[in-house]
A and B are shown apart, each in its own frame.
Chain A
Amino acid sequence: DSGVTQTPKHLITATGQRVTLRCSPRSGDLSVYWYQQSLDQGLQFLIQYYNGEERAKGNILERFSAQQFPDLHSELNLSSLELGDSALYFCASSPTGVEGYTFGSGTRLTVV
């Protein structure tokens, strides 16, 4: 167990729907990162939060949004889902991020 908890582990939903993925970082870690992993694109950075504030944004679609709450857990919201959004979504956390970070086990999203 890495200490980063992601729920749910699996999610199957229909096109056009909206889902929320949840991440609880390791105790004491202030930074949370979201990544998307697909077979053709590999791991792609979506967004980073640090202590509740957005720090960096990557290739995140406008249909996707995220936030980090005062208790440091984070949620990734995906709306108007398309078949191409099917992927593994990983959350990672770190105290600073300087020397890499710890990933959770991911949420496997299937859009049908």
Chain B
Amino acid sequence: QKEVEQDPGPLSVPEGAIVSLNCTYSNSAFQYFMWYRQYSRKGPELLMYTYSSGNKEDGRFTAQVDKSSKYISLFIRDSQPSDSATYLCASRGDSGAGSYQLTFGKGTKLSVIP
């Protein structure tokens, strides 16, 4: 079992819809959670960062972590065609000796249809 599992999709929604992207993780030591967005033929771009459980909002994006169920979510409100990309969740534990390696899900491909 991979430490971070993510439904690969693809997910197709109409413009303006609310999008829900989800991941589960198995490593109880994970404390830091991130969402990256990756456009085709580009590198991943950091969207959201959260520590431990709770919600974090940034514009149209909300990241949610539920450590009790080991569930990570990203919500996109008023989705736009420019949101069409692959979304990757990533996690890591408290690192000793300054090691900050991330464990990534395989990504969910999202298409927002105009």
Binding site for B on A (CB under 8 A): 2, 4, 31, 33, 41-45, 48, 50, 55-56, 58, 90, 92, 94, 96-106
Cross-chain contact of A48 among B43, B101, B104, B106 (Cβ < 8 A): B101
Residues of B within 8 A of A99 (CB): 32, 49
Query: Binary interface profile of B, 98-114, with partner A (CB < 8 Å = 1, else 0)?
Result: 11111111110000000
A42 and B104 in contact (CB under 8 A), knowing A56-B99, A97-B98? yes
Is A103's CB under 8 angstroms from B100's CB?
A: no
Bound-state Cα–Cα, A33 to B34, Å: 16
Query: Binary interface profile of B, 76-114, with partner A (CB < 8 Å = 1, else 0)?
Result: 000000000000101000010111111111110000000
Binding site for A on B (CB under 8 A): 32, 34, 36, 41-46, 49, 88, 90, 95, 97-107
Residues of B within 8 A of A42 (CB): 88, 104-107
Bound-state Cα–Cα, A48 to B97, Å: 12
Cross-chain contact of B46 among A55, A58, A102 (Cβ < 8 A): A102
Residues of A within 8 A of B100 (CB): 31, 33, 48, 56, 94, 96-98, 101
Residues of B within 8 A of A2 (CB): 43, 45
Chain A residue at minimum C-beta to C-beta distance from B105: A42
Is B88's CB under 8 angstroms from A48's CB?
A: no
Is A100's CB under 8 angstroms from B46's CB?
A: yes
Is A101's CB under 8 angstroms from B103's CB?
A: no
Residues of B within 8 A of A103 (CB): 36, 43-45
